[in-house]
Each structure stands twice: as structure tokens, then as C-alpha cells.
Amino acid sequence: MFFCKQSTTVLFFVFLAIFSQAQNDLPVDKNATAETIHLYRNLKKLADRGFMLGHQDDLAYGVGWKYVPGRSDIKDVTGDYPALYGWELGRIEIDHPVNLDSVPFDKMREFIREGYERGGVITISWHLNNPLTGKTAWQPSPGTVASILPGGEKNDLFKSWLDKIATFIMSLKGRHGELIPVIFRPFHELNGNWFWWGGKNCTPDEMKQLYRFTETYLRDEKHVHNLLYAYNTDRFASKEDYLERYPGDEWVDIVGFDIYQANNIKKNEDFMAEFDKTLTTLENIATEKNKIPALTEFGYNGLPDSSWWTNVFLKTLEKHKIAYALAWRNSGYRSQTQYEFYVPYKGQASANDFVKFYNAKKTFFQKDVTKEKMYQ
């Protein structure tokens, strides 16, 4: 009897400890809104069972169509929407009414609300112009990052750009007036050399400072509390390589990377080996740091391999634990040889296989994620 009582007491404290640990597991913004905290915790739980499939600009356009209410290439193929919606804020900083991929910001706000109301999750990237030169994100210039840090000649300009980001993010509201949580992934692919903020275009320390400055400014000056922050590299070689520009555990909720397969079916094996290795490293980092692992962008442009979804992508991913995978945009055909799409449209070579991928146990699309109630 005595033993029973004792073990019941022990069990009680074990449960209490587990419960309070879960309750203490907060995003890096300790004042995040209730919905944002729920999203953070639910993303972690979901990753134990599978991953959400996302698509950039899914509701805005697809291959051969633009702005058809309710349409989505993923829905045309599977009958269901993606679970995650990617959107892009490039050019909001220069007060353009449309982003760099021609999506009007007013329409984007409506699409974001639509996806959220269906229970979907929102992630946002920002290919912001070069603040030092006024050129695009892809035109680096020495000293750009240093120029926007405090004390730099463009710090005020950069802050005015962040003001615009804050205004947009805080204009995203659900039916009850609540702020819509957003996974923000600023300065993505930050180990590559193609963006002004990336790779050799600044020092690791400058990047860390920029990440922390951006977050502090949005959170503490602008009082934005509906963001989860994703740290987002491109492909990487090792844990050290991945963490070279990492701003620190207190600045990051989600750890992710972007990866694209080169257009060559014969290269499937090479891609799978690299993808597998990179995912393992990412998972180890996420576990060690108690962060959410994610595939922040992926794609195989043109999808020439009819069984790529199950034979290459899912085959590799199902061995791993990530919360979501975001496919890049379906901007369509510019000519027969110039095209850009990363999910199939109706009739495309990989469409049947994508339906198999949709039906797989580990993949979450809109109907699955609605049931998950990510914001409660």
C-alpha cells in the first residue's frame, strides 16, 4: 500500500514536470500571441508524425492561370489545398503595390487570411532590395550589411523598411480580429553568395548582428508578436557550416535549409544521398537546440521524373523528422524550354505520383492540418 502511494506520488510529479516543461516551451518572443505560441508547440508535435506540404504563391497563380478565385494547382491535382502557404514581401520596402513576382499586397493579405481560416499555416520570405545601392536582392555590394547596422549610414533607411514589414504583418487578422501567426524567414539562404546579405558578402558576425537587430526592432520597437523566426541556409556541408552564421538559440524558433534538385533524372541517387545527409544533420541540430526542423524551400524544376514524389522525395523524407516542406512557385512557361514550376498541374508528368504522395500517411495537406487545429 505504502509502495503504491509512493509510486503514485512519483508519477504525479513526473507528469507535472512534463506538463510544466511543455507549458514553458515558448517561442523566442516571450510575448508572442496565444495563437503563435500554439502554432509553435503544434509544429513540434506534428513533426513527430509527418510533415506539412507547402507551396509558394499557391492561391495567386499556377501554370497557365492567374487570380482565379479558389484555384490552386495542388487542388486541381489532389482535390485539396496545401497545408502551408508561402508568400513573399519583396518590394514592399519601396512602397510598390505589387511584390517582385507581381502579386498585389492587398490580394496577398486576402489569400493569407483565406489559408489561415482554413487552418493552414503561413510562411513569409523577403527578397528585399539592396539598401545601400537601391538595386535588387541579387546585386551584392561590399559593406551593405555593415551599412544597415546601428551606426551605419543606411540604418535609418533599413528601419523604415522594417516599419513597413511590421505594418503588413500586423495587418494580417483573422475573423475574430486576432493576429495571424506567420513563420518569418528573413535573410534566407544566408550561406550562399547570391544575395547581398549572404555568404562572402558579409562576415558571420555581421549576419548575426543583422538577424538580432531585425528581430529586436520588430519585436521591441514595433511590438510585432505574431512571428516565429526561421533561420534559413541553403545546402550546407556540416553542422559547423550550418551554424556559422546562426544568431543564437534565443533568436531562432525554426531551423531550416533550402535544397533544389538539378534537372537530371540520372542524378536522383546523388540528390537523395545529399538530401538524406543534410536532413540528418539538421535533425540533430534541432534536437540538440530544441528547435523545429523544416525544409524551408525545395524543388525539382519542371518535374520531369514521373515518380519523383514517392521514389525520391518521400523515400528520403519519410526517414526523417521535419515539420514542413515548402515547394517553390509555379510561375509557369515563358517558352517551351523556359519554365518554372515545382508542383504538378493537372496532366503534368508527375501528377499521378503526386496523388500517391498526397495519400501517404506522413504527408499533411489542408484537410489534415485543419483537423490538427494548429492555433489552439
**Residue-wise over 173-192: b if at least 16 C-beta within 10 A, else e?**
eeeeebbbbbbbbbbbbbbb
Question: In this chain, which stretch among 5-13, 150-158, 324-332, 341-349 interacts with ligand BMA, using CB under 6 A?
Answer: 324-332
HSE at residue 246, side-chain half, CA atoms within 13 A, is 21
Instruction: Label the pairing between strands 61-62 and 65-66.
Output: antiparallel
According to the binding rule CB under 6 A, does residue 55 interact with ligand BMA?
no
According to the binding rule CB under 6 A, does residue 127 interact with ligand BMA?
yes
Residues in 210-249 at the binding interface with ligand BMA, rule: CB under 6 A: none
According to the binding rule CB under 6 A, does residue 101 interact with ligand BMA?
yes
Question: In this chain, which stretch among 22-30, 107-115, 326-334, 368-376 interacts with ligand BMA, using CB under 6 A?
Answer: 326-334
According to the binding rule CB under 6 A, does residue 91 interact with ligand BMA?
no
Assigned C-alpha cell, 32? 508572442
CB of 299 to ligand BMA, least distance (A): 9
According to the binding rule CB under 6 A, does residue 88 interact with ligand BMA?
yes
Beta strands in the chain (DSSP E): 51-56, 61-62, 65-66, 84-88, 121-125, 182-184, 227-233, 254-260, 292-299, 324-327, 332-333, 339-340, 363-364
CB of 86 to ligand BMA, least distance (A): 9
Q: Tell me the per-residue interface mask from 168 to 207 with ligand BMA, x by CB under 6 A, - otherwise.
A: ----------------------------------------
Q: Which amino acid is at 110?
A: E
CB closer to ligand BMA, 12 vs 194: 194
CB of 156 to ligand BMA, least distance (A): 26
According to the binding rule CB under 6 A, does residue 98 interact with ligand BMA?
no
Beta strands in 103-153 (DSSP E): 121-125
Biggest CA-to-CA distance, the chain: 80
Distance from C-alpha of 320 to C-alpha of 311, rounded to nearest angstrom: 15
Active site (annotated) includes residue 189: yes
Distance from C-alpha of 180 to C-alpha of 121, rounded to nearest angstrom: 9
Q: Which amino acid is at 281?
A: T
Which entry of 35, 88, 93, 189 is annotated as an active-site residue?
189
Instruction: Label the pairing between strands 65-66 and 84-88.
Output: unpaired
Question: In this chain, which stretch among 62-70, 141-149, 224-232, 328-336 interacts with ligand BMA, using CB under 6 A?
Answer: 328-336
Which entry of 35, 206, 297, 372 is annotated as an active-site residue?
297
Active site (annotated) includes residue 297: yes
CB of 90 to ligand BMA, least distance (A): 6
CB closer to ligand BMA, 100 vs 243: 100
* DSSP H helical ranges for 244-326: 268-289, 308, 315-317
Among 279, 329, 351, 365, binds ligand BMA (CB under 6 A): 329
Residues forming a β-bridge with 364: 52
According to the binding rule CB under 6 A, does residue 100 interact with ligand BMA?
yes
Catalytic residues: 189, 297
Q: Which residues bind ligand BMA (CB under 6 A)?
A: 88, 100-101, 127, 328-329, 331, 340
